[in-house]
Structure formats: C-alpha cells, structure tokens
Amino acid sequence: MSDITIELHNVSKRYWLRRGWYVFSIKDEVGRLTSRLLRREVQPREEFWALRDITFSLKRGEVLGLVGPNGAGKSTLLKILSRVTVPTSGSFVVHGRLGALIEIGAGFHPELTGRENIALNGVILGMSRREIESKFDRIVAFAELERFIDTPIKHYSSGMQMRLGFSVAAHTDPDVLLIDEILAVGDASFQVKCANKIAELKEQHKTIILCSHSMSNITDHAKSVLWVDGGRVRMLGETDAVLDAYLEHVTAAMNTAEDTRGEEAGSGAGPASIHQVQTLDGDERPQARFDRGDRVLIDITYSATQALPGAVFGVSVEDIQGHPLGGVVTDPDSIKIPAPVERGVLRLTLDPILFNRGAYTLSVVISDPKVKRSYGLKRRAARIAVDGPRAADRESSGHVYYPHQWESLR
Amino acid sequence: MFDTIRNAYSHRELIFSFAVRDIKARYKQTALGVAWSLIQPLSMMIVFTLVFSLFAKVPSDGIPYPVFAYSALIFWTFFANVISGGTGAMTSNSSLIRKIYFPRETLLLSVLLAGLLDLGIASTLFGGMLLYYRIALTAAALWVIPLVALQMLLMLGIISLTSAAHVNFRDIGHGLPLLIQLWMFATPVAYPISVIPEWLKPLYLLNPMAPIIDGYRRAIILGTRPDLEALAVSAAVSLTLTVTALAIFKRAERTFADVI
C-alpha cells in the first residue's frame, strides 16, 4: 500500500504578462498588425513562470511548511493542488478529499442568511446535504454565531464572516488540507480554537500543507519545509535546516539589496542623515547572525549639517513581516549633536540579545521628540537573524525571550 | 457529453444549491418577490397584443391573440433569461471560480434549473388563460415535454459557448441583449409561422428555436403535433451545437481561473 498522498512531478505554471495569450482586444491586435506591416518591432508578449519544475511528494499524515518571499509561487502552487488552475506542464496527484483553508468564505452570498450560506458553502466545498445537516450545529457553535444564524450575512462583520467561513471549511473532514496564512482569523479566543482545530486534524493523520510567513507557525506545526523562490524549489527538507537556510538567505539578501535602497525620509533635505548601520558581534567583527543571548553591537554612522540641540537617536526593531517590536532611544542629555558633524559614529550595545529565533530589521531615526520632528531616518537600515533553541525544546513563544525561571512551590 | 451527464448527476446537490441560491437571492429585498416571474411575460403579452394585434393586425391563426402571444412568450422568456443568465454565469461567480474548484458546468445547469422553475410559475397564469378562453388541452399537449427538453439542450449549447467566451471577451455581455431581441423577431413569437413566405421557409426553419416555439403553440392550443420534419432539423442542429460547445467549454474551463 502506498502512503503517498500528494505527488507532484515537474509541475510548471506559465502566465502571460500584459494580457493573456488569447485575451486580446481588437485595438491591440490592429496595433500589432500595423506594427508588423510597417516592419516595426512587434512587442512580444511576455511570459512569466510562476512555477518551474516543482517536484515533491508527501506521505499521509505529514505536515509540510511552505515558505518563500512574496511572489515566489506559493499561492500558485496551492491553486494548482486545489485544482483551481491547471499546470502548464507536469503532473500531480492528490489522493483523498482535499480541503482548502485558503480563501475561506469564498462563495458566500451576502443576501443569504448564515444558515443558507452554510448549506451552500458546504455543498460547494464538497459535502453532501445530509453531511451538512448532521454537522450544522457543530459548525454554528464553532463559529460562535448561534444568535445570528438567520441573519443575512451582509449584516455580519468581516470577522463573523471569516469565522463562519473557517468553520464550514474546517468541518469538511478532508484527507488533505491546504492552509494559507489564515491562522490569524478573528479575535484571540477564536485563534486558539483555530490552532486547536489544526492540531486535531494533525492528530487524525491528515496531510497538511501550511503556507505562512510566520516562522513560529511553521516550526509549531511542520515537520518538513519546502522553500520556493522564483517559482523553483530552493530547498526541501527538515524544518530546522530549511528555516536556517531561509533566514540566512533573507538576511543576506536584505543586507546587500535593501541597504542601498533603504528609504531615507527627507534624504538630502533633512539636517541629519544616517549613512550606515552595521551590526557587529562581541569581538567587533561585522556579523548579521547571532544566537540568542549574544552581545550585539550596532554602529550607526551619521552626519548633521547643523547643531541639533534637542535631537535623540532611536533604533526600532521590526519582525520579518514589518510588525514593530519596539525599540530604544538615546537620552538627550548624554548624547548630543551640539555642532555640525561630518561623520559621527554612535554605538548601541544590546547585551544580551533576547530575541527568539527569527529575522529582524532595524530602523534608525534622528528626531526631536519634543517638537515631533524627524531630522533623519533610515528604514530597514540593517537586518539580523537570530538563532534560537530548536523547535523541539522551545520554552518561549513570540519574538522576545523573557529571562525567566520556573519553580514548583507546592 | 456523457461525462457532463455523469458529472451533473454526481454534482446534482451542487447544481440544486446554486439554483436555490440564485432564486432566493434574486427575490430578496423585493416587494413583489416571485411574482416577477409572471410580470415579465405578462407585460410583454399586453404590449404585443396592443402593437401587433390591435394596431398592426398581425394574424394569429384564429387563436385569441393574448393566448397566442403568451403561449410563445413564456417559453421565449425562459429562453432569454437562461441565455442572459447563463452567459454571465462564470463572470458573476468569478470570486468562486478564482478560489474553489468544482465542475464549472454546474453553474450552467443551475441556470437552466432556475429558469425551469420560473417557467413553471409563469405557466400557472397560462393555465388560467386557457380556462378563460375555454381552450381544452389534448393528449398532444404532452409534446411540450420533449420540446422543453430540446429547448434546454439547445440553451445548454448556447450558454456553454457564450459563458466561456464572456470570460475572455466582455463584449459578449454588451452584444447579447441585442442578439436576443433580433432572435425573437426571427422566431414565431409575435406572429404565426404561416406569414413567412414559402421561399424563405427553409432558411427560416434553420433557426432551431422556430420549430420549437411553433411546436408549443400547436401542442397546447391547436392540439396537433409539431412540425416533426422541421423539429428534426432543429434537434440535429441543437445536438451538434451542444456536443461541440460542451467540448469547447471543458477545454476553456481550464484557464477560467487565470483569465476571469
């Protein structure tokens, strides 16, 4: 008996840019024809390979994490697996009933009530009417919508609609489940229910592909990870190994590419500029990868065209998705810009660094907090990757590690 | 074709659910609700009676003109509604098509099903008219069943083509109302087939809807069987069209999600 549930062989998907190859308008075609007649260069239709030669297989009960930058082809891959679109070449098989927590609530009709929409959405997702009837109460209870079930869903809040959509989709009882970045539906208590539902499905040996930008979601659930980049398989393997390589790559790419195009608000115009932000290890060697608990030095090279008496320096940290994680500022009484500076260097020491495993960006600002004026700003000026304990022995969650100890008192 | 039938059977609940959704959603927040299914052919009948019978003195084969017109109008309304609804069936469900897989022809079949229900509602009034004009149904009225089946086959063929084309060319949506209008005047809805000059008849009867509409009238009001020869041509045209159109539709369906 073969345990393979999902198998892809050299799956590729091509899209045409500008317009689809048969989506043409008479105006365009006449334009192309005249160009050709006048022996002018005909603008070629540009192709774009969203996926290129994707090959992998998944066994029953496996959970695969799917990572990659935006536009890497993750969504296209999920679309092909869910049969919404067909690959340009290559073949794939999915054994068993497929469920997708991708675009939940697609197919809801705003004029119909919650009850009617459950019936409709359930059938669209492949359930029989009898099956829906038997699961109806559970679906409603899970979505916490008992009171509003006979209200047209156009009167629902977007959170309520998402909850209903998730609930219907989660009750389709699939053998294979595709999940795309939806673990953040609804309020905190509903998120817990969602996470529990996923865990429940894992326990039932469902095969799951989980696509997320949240590294902690991936480490929490996935045993192996597929990293796609530019439509190709960049790496496939054990979660820790792939995520290590992925974070390293993201960090390196950011430090070279983003450094030069770091956004400088009012660059040239502002009285102060931040030229370079360099991260160093405890031995003052340039370094962008650290272990949690390391000593991290951040050297900020700046200049000012005039004295800025009220100025303070600020360094703020964002996670890989751009969520702010807070930061630190200088004390205006100790660090000052009393006169024009041509090349000043300021060092910030973080000792120890208490971030959990992940990639983080640093933004640097020189501003006057009293008059709320920004003199110089460099967003995403540097990027660091932090290595932490393995997923298996993690004792903290989120981005920040809290120094702590547990004691059993009684 | 057989694939479609098999698929349709295994997805019958989906087809039914789409039809229920369309009907329910159509009459939500309307005051007259389902009565709109009656108003459409009824108002056309009144206009036609005024214009064609009272003013233009169009003959009606000895049948009272309102019955004459209504007998064709309910089936023509069925035709027009299914064609326009079916043509937009893919584009009006674009969010669904972009996100979830299901056999796309279920949307077409659900339009046919919903149209059939509207036809049923419009027929109740027709029954009342027949009573009023003391027109008794004969066994020939049973011809309506194969005629409706043939009409549905033809409509499925048409909307398979137009809905797939509409995904790529929204022009279809603009041209269609005009086409339906012209088509009605090429079909014996407002006038009897007997006014068509003999020399034009072979050409005229190539319109597959012509013998079907004429057939309803004969079967229900005159109590005779339809023009079987013309109907055979119509059936052949419809079958060829539908088989080809479904094959084209199934091919085009693969790229709907990318283009829509």
The predicted structure's pLDDT at residue A261: 43
Q: For B165, which residue in chain A has the nearest alpha carbon? A: A23
Question: Over 70: is that where the pLDDT of A39 sits?
Answer: no
Asked if residue A209 lies in contact with residue A177, where contact means CB atoms within 8 angstroms, the answer is yes
pLDDT tens for each residue of B18-57 = 999 988 888 877 888 888 888 888 898 999 999 988 888 8
Asked if residue B144 lies in contact with residue B226, where contact means CB atoms within 8 angstroms, the answer is no
Q: What is the separation of C-alpha B17 from the centre of its chain, rounded to a whole number of angstroms?
A: 21
CA distances from B20 to A131, B15, B135, B169 (A): 18, 9, 34, 28
Residue A136 half-sphere exposure toward CB, CA atoms < 13 A: 16
Asked if residue A356 lies in contact with residue A386, where contact means CB atoms within 8 angstroms, the answer is yes
Highest mean pLDDT among A138-152, A187-201, A254-268: A138-152
Domain made up of A4-248: CATH architecture:
3-Layer(aba) Sandwich (3.40)
Which residues on adjacent β-strands are paired with residue A316? A327, A363
Report residue B71 as tokens: 């007998």
Through-space distance between the first and last CA atoms of chain B, rounded to whole angstroms: 24
- The single residue listed with the structure tokens 């079907």 is B212
Every domain of chain B and the residues it spans: 2-259
Q: Higher model confidence: residue B190 or residue A194?
A: B190
As a whole number of angstroms, the distance between CA B118 and CA B136 comes to 23
Q: Residue B223: what residue type?
A: G
Q: Give me the CATH topology for the region A262-392.
A: Coagulation Factor XIII; Chain A, domain 1 (2.70.50)
Tell me which chain A residues have a C-beta less than 8 angstroms from the C-beta of B100: 82, 84, 100, 103, 106-107, 124-125
- Paired sense of beta strands A341-350 and A312-319, if any: unpaired
As a whole number of angstroms, the distance between CA B241 and CA B154 comes to 7
CB pairs A-B closer than 8 Å: 70
Nearest to B100 among A86, A106, A152 (CB): A106
Which residues on adjacent β-strands are paired with residue A178? A100, A209
For chain A, residues classed under CATH 3.40.50.300 are 4-248
**Does a cis peptide bond (omega within 30 degrees of 0) precede residue A352?**
yes
Highest mean pLDDT among A306-320, A385-399, B204-218: B204-218
Asked if residue A296 lies in contact with residue A286, where contact means CB atoms within 8 angstroms, the answer is no
Nearest to A109 among B21, B257, B258 (CB): B21
CA distances from B127 to B9, B69, B123, B131 (A): 32, 14, 6, 6
How far is the alpha carbon of A119 from chain B, nearest alpha carbon, in Å? Answer: 8
Quick one: average pLDDT of A266-295?
Answer: 84
How far is the alpha carbon of A81 from chain B, nearest alpha carbon, in Å? Answer: 10
3-state secondary structure A140-201: HHHHCCHHHCCCEHHHCCHHHHHHHHHHHHHCCCCCEEEEECCCCCCCHHHHHHHHHHHHHH
Through-space distance between the first and last CA atoms of chain A, rounded to whole angstroms: 52
Q: Which of residues 155-214 of B touch A (CB under 8 A)?
A: 168
pLDDT tens for each residue of A328-381 = 999 888 888 888 888 999 999 998 888 888 888 898 999 888 887 888 888 888
Answer whether 0.80 is exceeded by the pTM.
Answer: no
Q: For A116, which residue in chain B has the nearest alpha carbon? A: B21
